[in-house]
Amino acid sequence: MKHDVIVLGGGVNGLGTARDCALRGLKVLLLERGDLAAGASGGNSGLIHGGPRYMLSGPKVTERACRDSGYIQRLAPHLLFRIPFLVPFTSRRERQSLWERAVAYATEVFFSTYDVYQPLKRGKPSVRLTAEELYRLEPGLRPGLHGAVTFDEWGIDAHRLCVLNALSAKGHGADVRTWTEAREVLREGGRAVGVSWVDRVTGERGEARAPLIFNATGAWSPAFARRQGATVKMRPGKGVHLVMDRRLSDYAVVCNAVDGRMMFVYPHQRESWIATTDDDFYGDPDDCEATADEVEYLLEGAASVFPSVRQARLTRAFWALRTTLHDYGPNEDALSREHELIDHAAEGAAGLFSFVGGKLASYRAQSEEVTDRILRELSRRPVACQTHEEPLPGGEAVADAAALAARHGVARAVAGRVVYRHGSLAGEVLRLCDDDPRLRLLVCREEGILAAEVVHCVRHELVRKLVDLRSRLKLAVGACGGLDCARVAAQLTARELGWDPERTRRELAELLEAGWRERRAVLSGAQLAQEELLRGAHWAVGA
């Protein structure tokens, strides 16, 4: 089958672009080598934030991110949650020095400038807090702080944002193939005309043809381009996040790492996260993991405002590579979060484009820009972009969790989680329980995942492997590591997808392996005991 455009990469830029292209009537094929959102699109801070920090280097970045954050709230309101940030004023001595007071004042002015953008994303204006007010909001902060400034941001389940874009693209006619790796760009007379691919699940090989190929493979794009004799310059920056088993606080707190870098500790869904490192990464992106020194660096920074993080239970450390634009000289934090579309025509591959840089919060605007360009390259007449108005699946309305819980006979808290993940489609998920009461089996008590939701997900959310449920449902991602859920979810998925028992066992082993890689760097205290238990529970699964 011939397509208008082949998108490589199932991250947020690839998926956003595939969706936009499909909405504008193009025939799209998207190839993703692993699961959706496997790279930076899933492994980020989970914030649709305006990036106040970038006001200094590029106010355009901030404005665009804020405007788009506002759009995302309209497209997928169920996925977003407000996170109030506190920026405490620290001091080296008991009383603030003149200089420190000046810094505090400058911070206050800085965030009142950011307030200009807040209405774009329904954010609340910043507030100056006295020390008493600060400690009333968050008594767990270390003593000796001199007040704070607040600002307002939105959290999001970034994995699900990507999944929803994929489902929408598919709904509008795009072919989305996960676990399918693009091998070579096919060329004819200096033009890219298609790609060869291999399905990593079935081993099937094939070719797809299109006059335009959009390479959005993130940290993998330099290597992919190099294989095609083209160049993508990038400064991949490794970002590691630490996750706690519960919320340390309902407020996000900005703090400084040992080297003065800004970082923060913040609530994200049921957990608290510590974000983040930013280090140039020269290694193989497939061989990237959190290291002991990154964990300690983040803990030390977080403990500088929240001493109790040292007692907290870390459940995992996840990582991803930012695809920052290349620039020789500046340190990592000073790099621009701008983006760039690279045309490889001059390298003998006309029709091949690569995307570098950008921000999660601006993915829609970035995709719109790319799609405009794709239409021009294909000499199509311009079609108006609708991605800022057309809701993502489930974003059409907000479902009433209490009513759904009562109607379908499930716990209120569980219905609430289903509504969070599926929005207005929650009723469709829970209706499965009416037809088959066995699907009320609670597979994960932590995330509130019913057997029905596993089945719904496998049927409707492009699931090809058991590990895909990690991103869709956070299955086996939490503190228990899949102790309770993994085997039952594997059985349910096997039933739906017709897996034989050997395949089921292999899928289960892969799911456990993925969790192990994220926990290995933080095994301590109760989490280490949990790991012993988990390994004991699953020894019979093997490799």
Using CB under 8 A as the binding rule, the residues of this chain from 363 to 422 that contact other proteins are none
User: The dihedral of CA 532, 533, 539, 543: what is its sign?
Assistant: negative
- Closest approach of Cβ 287 to other proteins, in Å? 9
| CA dist., res. 140 & res. 248, Å (int) | 9
| CA dist., res. 263 & res. 256, Å (int) | 6
535 binds other proteins (CB under 8 A): yes
493 binds other proteins (CB under 8 A): no
494 binds other proteins (CB under 8 A): yes
- Closest approach of Cβ 369 to other proteins, in Å? 39
| CA dist., res. 353 & res. 345, Å (int) | 8
Stretch that binds other proteins, among 252-260, 287-295, 344-352, 353-361 (CB under 8 A): 287-295
- Name which of 186 and 442 has its Cβ closer to other proteins: 442
- Name which of 296 and 327 has its Cβ closer to other proteins: 296
| CA dist., res. 41 & res. 109, Å (int) | 32
- Name which of 181 and 507 has its Cβ closer to other proteins: 507
| Distances from the Cα of 246 to the Cα of 92, 97, 212, 320, 339, angstroms | 31, 36, 46, 22, 35
Neighbours of 114 (CB within 10 A): 22
Residue type, 440: R
- Name which of 226 and 495 has its Cβ closer to other proteins: 495
Using CB under 8 A as the binding rule, the residues of this chain from 288 to 327 that contact other proteins are 289-292, 295
| CA dist., res. 143 & res. 305, Å (int) | 9
Backbone angles phi, psi at 454, to 5 degrees: -60, -45
529 binds other proteins (CB under 8 A): yes
Q: How many residues bind other proteins (CB under 8 A)?
A: 52
Tokens 């990154």: give the residue.
294
String of contacts with other proteins for each residue 414-443, x by CB under 8 A: ----------------------xxxxxxx-
- Closest approach of Cβ 531 to other proteins, in Å? 7
Confirm if 21 and 174 have CB atoms less than 8 A apart: yes
> Is residue 276 reached through a cis peptide bond, with omega within 30 degrees of 0 on the bond before it?
yes
Q: Degrees (nearest 5) of the Cα angle 113, 116, 121?
A: 125
Confirm if 85 and 190 have CB atoms less than 8 A apart: no
Stretch that binds other proteins, among 190-198, 267-275, 387-395, 519-527 (CB under 8 A): 519-527
String of contacts with other proteins for each residue 437-476, x by CB under 8 A: xxxxxx--------x-------------------------
- Residues making contact with other proteins (CB under 8 A): 289-292, 295, 436-442, 451, 483-484, 487-488, 491-492, 494-495, 500-502, 504-505, 508-509, 512-513, 516-517, 520-525, 528-529, 531-533, 535-543
